[in-house]
Amino acid sequence: MPKKKPTAPAPVVEQITPQPITDTLELNYMPYAMSVIVSRAIPEIDGLKPAHRKLLYTMYQMGLMSGPRAKSSKVVGQTMQLNPHGDAAIYETLVRLTEGNGALLHPFVDSKGNFGKQYSRDMAYAAPRYTEVKLAPICAELFADIDKNTVPFVDNFDATMKEPLLLPTTFPNILVNPNQGIAVGMASAFCSFHLQEVCAATIAYIKNQNCTLSDYLQGPDFSTGGELLYDEAELNRIYETGRGSFKLRCTYTYDEKNNCIEVTEIPYTTTVEVIIDKIIALVKAGKIKEITDVRDESDRNGLKLAIDVRKNTKVDVLMHKLYQQTPLLDSFSCNFNLLIDGNPKTLGIKGILEAWLQFRITSLRGQLAFDIEKKGKKLHLLEGLEQILLDIDKVIHIIRETEKENQVIPNLMAAFSLDQAQAEYIAEIKLRNINREYILNRTKEKGDLEAELQRLKETLESEQKIRTLICQQLKQVAKKYGKPRQTRIVPVDEVETPPQEDFVEDYGIKLFLTEENYFKKITLVSMRAAGEQKLKEEDSILLTCDTTNAADILFFSDQQNVYKMKANDLAECKASSMGDYLPNLLNLAYGEKIRFLVPTTDYSGQLIFFFENGKAAKVPLSAYQTKTNRKKLMNAYSAKSPLLAMFYAPKELDLILLRDQDKACLFSTALLPLSSTKNAGGVQVYTLKKNSRITAIADAASLPQEWKQYFATTKIPSTGHFLNEEQKEALLAFFASPQAEL
């Protein structure tokens, strides 16, 4: 029989089930977001994130509170029983907690080896097999009485171990060490405060919730030192709301012998490499010319950033430039967002102290209840021991005469009215201790125990006594672990700012404006050795002027706009370059061109505008001066008639005007009234007939005296004087000469 051909399998039709995006977010994304918020990025009231807590508790369980240090790799490996996120992440967490790294004001880990530095971006920490760690002494305050039911314990990720939900820290660690984290949809940023100030503020708050925190907290304190620019209003806002920012700046000294600025402390928020990169960029851009070299001279003794400067440099002015343009002055933005009972909350310092106080009261109540229970059991055993004091022989006789071991306890209970715990305790006493002296010494403890139990019960029942106990512990912590403030306080109103003109290096420059709207700024030093000015093909120089690097430059466009720039903000050029293209430099509108520029340092003098309709306007240059640093002013001059010419007149001068090459008029600008507005239409200077216009304007200072007398007018408007052929030819030659330029 012929074989049957195999049939092809039926095609699989893929089933696509539509799912609303809101359901997908709720089922898949929200659990992830909440996990990041609650279990990773946001600290809790003990001042620790879960990664910190798991690491420190592992070290505590390893017995690293005392004794020799252990290899970091061993600590990392043990921590993975609680934190399954990988050894690299755990070691990075460990690095930040170490004394060697210097990120914390009060480090939790005593370290040996290279752990990098908080102030360095590029200094890599050594591998964990090379470094050693143990817990720092202050960790005794984190784990105080942790085995006395002070905090709840929960299962680890695979339910094989127990770990604390929080650590029973005896001081508000959340405020003492900096902590930053970015979660999903929220973030947290805690600055650090001085330990002794925090303890004092907490004690004051416990005694009076209406206390003024600024009386105790001077301001944030950082392990990297530096100077805090103290703004009382801003810090009070941070204290009240938990949000706000403050400024930190570096600490430096100046070595006059070597012309070197030595920076020894920088803001906590930056690194020495970032500062160096920014300074180099400023020097290359020509914005700072005083610096000749910058280098990192940090060593085992600490940070040192060396900045070599030129001779006769005003160091205070240079440093203010660097403060403005580099992270040598930086801001720390506060966002006191923390988890309270698993819920994120943004609190002011009083809110944080209240939350910590309630947490600490709960911890102490658990500890007191534990001690009462333990001491109560001990007292109960001693009461049983006291009962056999008068008849020790009977106890010995009962134990000796009892045939079976399991009957010893029942026989003792029956003979002396003891309970099972008391009977077992007596039965376990060593034979050498069954004597009157031993039993008397033990029973003497009963009175002390009763007094101690009474004190513990009274404390447990009184919240006021618990608060007093917290205050006592805070005083002990401040005394034992307090150290000098690292960050110095500098009131904002005491910060001296040099005059603005000191920030600009003043030297002579020459400005060039071309017909094709190219602009050059060339120093007079460069001009001495400069050859012919390089221009674009078919381009020509429209105007040139001399000024200084401290001047403001006003660029007037053909669309009645004026653009303002500071000369020191403009790049220097060489004669061999075409310069800056003004439409790009000034962000001009399409088709807009710059027709005139005026440099000024004091906005004195006036601008004269001449229009084709025979009118002229005299506008004081001060009309273009603004209090704010505006870059563009509109309606810079009148748009009623096409602009024929404009020029700057520092003082009154004589001008000669040519009409249609057949008439001329000479008048003084003193005849023009000063306009009250920039875009005034001006006054009629020349009486024009129909279809006639002003064709040329020139400075009449170099005209022959007889010509001045012939063409001069003492009032405006003027009809001018007719020109004969000889005068016309001579006057046209004068207008074309350099002497006629305005």
CA angle 123, 127, 130 (to 5 degrees): 110
Strand order in the sheet with 606-611: 643-649, 606-611, 615-620, 683-684
Indicate whether this model's pTM tops 0.95: no
The 70-71 sheet, strands edge to edge: 70-71, 132-135, 109-112
Strands (E), 524-653: 541-548, 552-557, 562-566, 580-581, 594-600, 606-611, 615-620, 632-633, 643-649
Report how far apart, in Å, the C-alpha atoms of 526 and of each of 61, 76, 508, 522, 574 are.
73, 63, 10, 7, 7
Instruction: Give the whole-angstrom CA distance, residue 690 versus residue 688.
Output: 7
Confidence at residue 5, expressed as pLDDT on a 0 to 100 scale: 57
User: Is there a domain that residue 131 lies in?
Assistant: yes
- Token pair of 296, please? 């990192």
Low-confidence ranges of the chain (pLDDT < 70): 1-14, 498-503, 739-742
Task: Please count the structural domains in the chain.
Answer: 4
Task: Determine the structural domain holding residue 67 and report its residue range.
Answer: 48-168
Residues 6+ apart with CB under 8 A from 609: 616, 617, 618, 619, 637, 638, 643, 645, 646, 682
- Considering the domain architecture, whether residues 108 and 118 belong to the same structural domain is answered as yes
Side-chain half-sphere exposure of 49, counting CA atoms within 13 A? 27
Same domain, 117 and 232: no
In order of 37, 388, 405, 415, 574, the CA distances from 412 in angstroms are: 59, 10, 12, 5, 111
The answer to whether residue 195 sits within a structural domain is no
Domain end marker among 351, 368, 396: 351
Same-domain pairing of 440 and 378 = yes
- Is position 202 within any domain? no
Q: What is the CATH number of the domain that holds 86?
A: 3.90.199.10
Residue 264's H or E segment, with its range, is: strand 260-265
Rounded CA-CA distance 616/141 in Å is 84
> Domain for residue 244, yes or no?
yes
- Determine what percent of the chain falls in helix, strand and coil, rounding each to the nearest 5: 35, 25, 40
For residues 643 and 715, state if they share a domain.
Answer: yes
Q: Is 518 a catalytic residue?
A: no
Q: How far is CA 671 from CA 427, 589, 600, 654, 680, in A?
A: 126, 36, 24, 10, 16
* 400 shares a domain with 321: no
Residue 190 lies in a domain: no
Query: What separation in angstroms does the CA of 568 have from each of 519, 545, 550?
Result: 14, 16, 6
How far apart, in whole angstroms, are the C-alpha atoms of residue 147 and residue 164?
10
For residue 647, which of 602, 605, 686 has the smallest C-alpha distance?
605
Q: What's the CA gap between 424 and 422, in Å, rounded? A: 6
Would 331 be classed as within a structural domain?
Answer: yes
Residues 396 and 317 in one domain: no
Query: Where is the domain boundary, 351, 380, 396?
Result: 351
Strand order through the sheet with 508-514: 541-548, 508-514, 518-523, 580-581
419 and 300 share one domain? no
Question: Cα 310 vs. chain centroid, distance in angstroms?
Answer: 30
Report the 3 state secondary structure along 119-162.
Answer: CCCCCCCCCCCCCEEEECCCHHHHCCCCCCCCCCEEECCCCCCE
C-alpha count within 13 angstroms, C-beta hemisphere, residue 526: 17
Is 491 within the bounds of a domain?
A: no
pLDDT of residue 349: 96
Do 268 and 397 reside in the same domain of the chain? no
Task: Look up residue 657 and give its two tokens.
Answer: 């005007």
Q: Amino acid identity of 280?
A: I
The DSSP string of 617-670 is: EEEEGGGG--SS--SEES--S--SS-EEEEEEESS--EEEEEETTTEEEEEEGG
E strand or H helix at 233, and its extent?
helix 232-241
pLDDT value at residue 181: 86
3-state secondary structure of 36: helix
Other CB atoms within a 10 A radius of the CB of residue 555 amount to 23
| Domain boundary residue, one of 107, 139, 168 | 168
The helix (H) or strand (E) run that includes residue 325 is helix 315-325
Same domain, 600 and 704: yes
Domain CATH number, residue 472: 1.10.268.10
Do 515 and 403 belong to one domain? no
User: Is 17 among the domain residues?
Assistant: no
In angstroms, rounded to a whole number, what is the distance separating the alpha carbons of residues 195 and 175? 8
As a whole number of angstroms, the distance between CA 741 and CA 610 comes to 15
User: Which of these is catalytic: 29, 57, 125, 130?
Assistant: 130
pLDDT tens-digit readout, 603-657: 988 998 988 888 888 899 988 888 777 888 999 898 888 888 888 888 888 888 8
The CATH number of the domain where 521 resides is what?
A: 2.120.10.90
Supply the pLDDT for residue 6.
Answer: 61
| Residues 596 and 548: beta-carbon distance below 8 Å | no
Question: Are residues 627 and 610 part of one domain?
Answer: yes
Same domain, 283 and 329: yes
Cα separation, 130 vs 135, whole angstroms: 17
